[in-house]
Amino acid sequence: MAKKKKEEEMVLCPVGKFFLDLQKSSGKKSEFFDHMSRARIEFLKAIRSLVDEKIEGFEKKDAKGKKKVTKIKVE
């Protein structure tokens, strides 16, 4: 019982819990699990592409906001 409760406490993300529950309900060697494993990879790649797009947006915004530095000669 303690082990089961500990596993449930470790999973905070609802998507992770969904995949964990699916893994438990179907055997690891089932065709269903093979499809779900590939789907999990595609899901993570989709999240990565969203994060990359957001990073690029921030970088472009920062590049536009920077002012040129002008060197001034002081006598």
pLDDT reported for residue 37: 78
58 vs 54: CA distance, rounded Å = 6
Better-predicted residue by pLDDT, 43 or 64: 43
For residue 9, pLDDT beyond 80: no
Better-predicted residue by pLDDT, 67 or 74: 74
pTM: 0.47
If you write DSSP's letter for every residue of 2-68 in order, what string do you get? HHHHHHHHH--SHHHHHHHHHHHHS-TTSHHHHHHHHHHHHHHHHHHHHHHHHHHHHHHHHHHHPPP
User: In 3-state terms, what secondary structure has residue 72?
Assistant: coil
Residue-wise pLDDT for 12-49, tens only, equals 678 777 777 777 776 667 787 788 778 888 989 999 99
**Inter-residue contact 20 to 7 (CB < 8 Å):** yes
